[in-house]
Amino acid sequence: MDFSLTEEQIQVRDMVREFAAREVAPYIHDWDARGEFHREVLDKMGEAGILGLPIPEEYGGLGLDYVSLALACEELEYVDTFLRVIMSVHVGLNSLSLWQWATEEQKQRWLTPQARGEKIATFALTEPNAGSDAGAIESTVVRDGDDYILNGAKMWISLADVADHFLVFASLDRSQKHRGLCAFVVERGMEGLTTASIKGKLGVRAGNTGELAFNNVRVPAANRIGEEGEGFKIAMSCIDQGRFTVGAGAVGLTRAALDASVRYANERETFGVPIGNHQLVKQMIAKMVAGEDASRLLVMKAAELKNRGIRNTKETSLSKWYACDVALQSADDAVQIHGSYGFSNEYPVERFLRNARGAVIYEGTREVHQLLQADYALGYREDKPLRCPQPPAVGFEQESHEAVLA
């Protein structure tokens, strides 16, 4: 088993690291403290090619593999979680899903400008009364000639106030629960679509999060992704991609907590020695070291399966669950190592802790992933192959792929 990175992967990692250090790191303390989202960051990410990193060159992307995507997410979240969230919703949940499920005309219309960073995209599944239970979605669509009439609301949508394209899921027949869902691309400017930001978040304060409302929005049938009734299957395949980016980003947050803790432990003295000499401080730092390495290995295992076009629902779930739990524990230990200073925003570790808390909720709660892993172990869940319009893996020869239906 070869754990070394290719020259191309190293270049991607270093490029994204330098971008985040230059464009965001000097300002993130103030942006987070003021709860400011800076739209120009998206433009700069697009110019650098980051927003199209895993999308084939024929659709305006860089055509790179999933290891490169994981490395990019890690480097972005090392600086702040809001940067990785952009990758999750724009790339993982939307663009990669369009590449898998959209028609050629739809890819040219939406995917190409997204990969170039000319248009910003997001994903809209969660509702005020429907999160983990996607079958309980209350938003509805009714066919009306060549259009669908969309009504309902979405909640906790990243980039809600800045996205141009929304991948929206609604029910054609609520009595069918998840089997009645359909997927659509809704475009900003459609009559009846309104968005609003959510204030007062615990973490990811430099990111834009909001809600959507649909009041008799007329969506052309040409905007439907996949067939009627395939919405749940599409949503679950989207989430598999999103979970991968979340787990990869969590490795970066753990690394940031470790680096901050090591610096402080070598500078701060108690009882005449740096606190790094105290055994219980060493214990917390050692846990971060082990957690970072184990998390990265789980993420890279999922990345390799994706690169080979092999179904990876179980592996991606495990990497997301474990890496996010490690990041939360590492951030908490980092605050403890910093003592009272960790309780203020003079040091970045309190931001790490606030940001880490959300990741054990979104993209499948910790409890959902525990149930998934137990069901696989007990034999209650199987990887049943389902046909896809296209495999999601990019930048290499495809071997095989089965869709995700969790």
pLDDT value at residue 132: 85
Of 252, 229, 390, residue with least CA distance to 309: 390
The listed CATH number (1.20.1250.20, 3.40.50.20, 1.10.3720.10, 1.20.140.10) that belongs to domain 232-378 = 1.20.140.10
Residues 109 and 77: beta-carbon distance below 8 Å: no
Determine whether domain 122-229 maps to CATH 2.40.110.10.
yes
Residues 155 and 205: beta-carbon distance below 8 Å: no
How far CA 50 is from CA of 12, 100, 269, in Å, comes to 9, 19, 41
Ranges of CATH 1.20.140.10 domains, the chain: 232-378
pTM, 2 dp:
0.93
CATH code, residues 7-119: 1.10.540.10
Residues 194 and 213: beta-carbon distance below 8 Å: yes
Question: Is 74 strand, coil or helix?
Answer: helix
Q: What are the structure tokens assigned to 302, written together?
A: 């999922």
How does pLDDT run along the chain (406 residues), one tens digit per residue? 788 999 999 999 999 999 999 999 999 999 999 999 999 999 999 999 999 999 999 999 999 999 999 999 999 999 999 999 999 999 999 999 999 999 999 999 999 999 999 999 999 999 999 988 888 999 999 999 999 999 999 999 999 999 999 999 999 999 899 999 999 999 999 999 999 999 999 999 999 999 999 999 999 999 999 999 999 999 999 999 999 999 999 999 999 999 999 999 999 999 999 999 999 999 999 999 999 999 999 999 999 999 999 999 999 999 999 999 999 999 999 999 999 999 999 999 999 999 999 999 999 999 999 999 999 999 999 865 443 334 344 433 333 323 332 3
Q: What are the structure tokens assigned to 189, written together?
A: 């400017």
Q: What is the DSSP-derived secondary structure letter of residue 60?
A: T
Q: Is 363 a catalytic residue?
A: yes
The residue annotated as part of the active site, out of 269, 363, 382, 397, is: 363
Cβ partners under 8 Å of residue 156, min gap 6: 126, 198, 209, 211, 362
For residues 355 and 373, give the distance between their C-alpha atoms in angstroms, rounded to a whole number. 25
pLDDT value at residue 239: 94
Cβ partners under 8 Å of residue 310, min gap 6: 399, 400, 401
Ranges of CATH 2.40.110.10 domains, the chain: 122-229
Residues 99 and 108: beta-carbon distance below 8 Å: no
Q: What are the structure tokens assigned to 398, written together?
A: 């495809």
